[in-house]
Amino acid sequence: MDGGRRVLSNVIHSQVDLHQEFGGVVPELAARDHLERLPHLLDLALEQAGVQPADVDLLAVTRGPGLVGCLLVGMGVGLGLATAWAKPLSGVNHLWGHIYAAMLTRPDLEPPLLGLVVSGAHSDLVSMPEHGRFEVIGRTRDDAAGEAFDKAARMLGLGYPGGPALDRLARNGDARRQSLPKPSLPGLEFSFSGLKTALLYRLRDLGAEPGEQEKADLAAAFERSVVESLLDKLDQALSSEPVAEVVVAGGVAANTLLRRRAAEVVAGRARLTMPQLELCTDNAAMIAAAGFFTSTPRGEVGSRLRLPGGGAHYSTTVDPSLGWD
């Protein structure tokens, strides 16, 4: 990154092929693959950006939440580079990264903002009053939205990764033909496990192997219930605390229906920013952006420790279960 807004290179190695035959992410394989791929990816990132290690002012690495094996590999590489190159290292919160992805898409976007972060493990409504400060105002009681999509996709026989496959199938379906309940808890809490059970029972009632059209209709109905439930709470939060900027981010923000409906719900009340598709799902640029905005004198977060090589680092303790803190 050049500053916090301009991406010079954003190299992604997808592990989809590695995990596909198991129908989901295998943590041990994921961590080992990180270890094997990272050195080459780093070379590629520097080459594509056209920079030398000496040009680097700050390194950023995810410290959590996430799979502990992958976090440890990333942190090991981060600390190693920071020591070898004598550069400061910033340990970044993964969820913050998703919000900062929106800043890459919209250069004049600044807090205060209302954020909805929807990923494989989180469905959180957050209020962001300033850089590096987040207050969770709503979360899920059970499954995250991405997890719900992945489980529904598996029930519909769509394999891994489920979310994008369900999104594609839903485009051929009609949600009204297989209507499913829309979860609705009081306040700003989400819940998707009941909807998942409703889909399971509907599939059981349909018996044997449902037809292609039935599957597409069910995918559309499931998607509609998840999306409308997410947006009901966003709508409620925006009504009770009006704010000029709204961000919807995280892997599920790549969903076609969510993108269309979020624009309709927010229209005329605030400006909506959703990261471009490749910045919704996990990527390195969002972590670099979050590191830039939260580790520079703009708003120093955490303590600055010296490293043996003369570098420094901020909050670099691995925490797989980290919340928004």
- Asked if residue 162 binds ligand KG4 (CB under 6 A), the reply is yes
**93 forms bridges with which residues in the sheet?**
64
Q: Which residue from 118, 161, 282, 291 is in contact with Zn ion, where contact means CB under 5 A?
A: 282
Q: Which residue from 124, 228, 245, 282 is in contact with ligand KG4, where contact means CB under 6 A?
A: 282
Chosen from Zn ion, ligand KG4, none, partner binding at 301 (C-beta under 5 to 8 Å by type) = none
Residues 250 to 279 in contact with ligand KG4, rule: CB under 6 A: 250-252, 254-255
Residues 107 to 126 in contact with ligand KG4, rule: CB under 6 A: 119-121
Q: Which residue from 69, 164, 302, 323 is in contact with ligand KG4, where contact means CB under 6 A?
A: 164
Provide the mask over 62-101, with x wherever binding to ligand KG4 is found by CB under 6 A and - wherever it is not.
Answer: ----------------------------------------
In the bound complex, what is the minimum distance in angstroms from residue 191's beta carbon to Zn ion? 21
In 3D space, the residue among 41, 1, 4 whose CA is nearest the CA of residue 299 turns out to be 4
| Helix locations, 144-283, DSSP H | 145-155, 162-170, 193-206, 212-240, 256-266, 277-280
**89 forms bridges with which residues in the sheet?**
59, 313
- The tally of CA atoms less than 13 A away on the side-chain side of residue 172 is 10
Distance between CA atoms of 222 and 58, rounded to whole angstroms? 43
Chosen from ligand KG4, Zn ion, none, partner binding at 124 (C-beta under 5 to 8 Å by type) = none
SS3 289: helix
- Crossing angle of helices 145-155 and 212-240, in 10° steps, is 170
By CB under 6 A, name the binding residues for ligand KG4. 119-121, 146, 149-150, 161-164, 167, 250-252, 254-255, 281-282
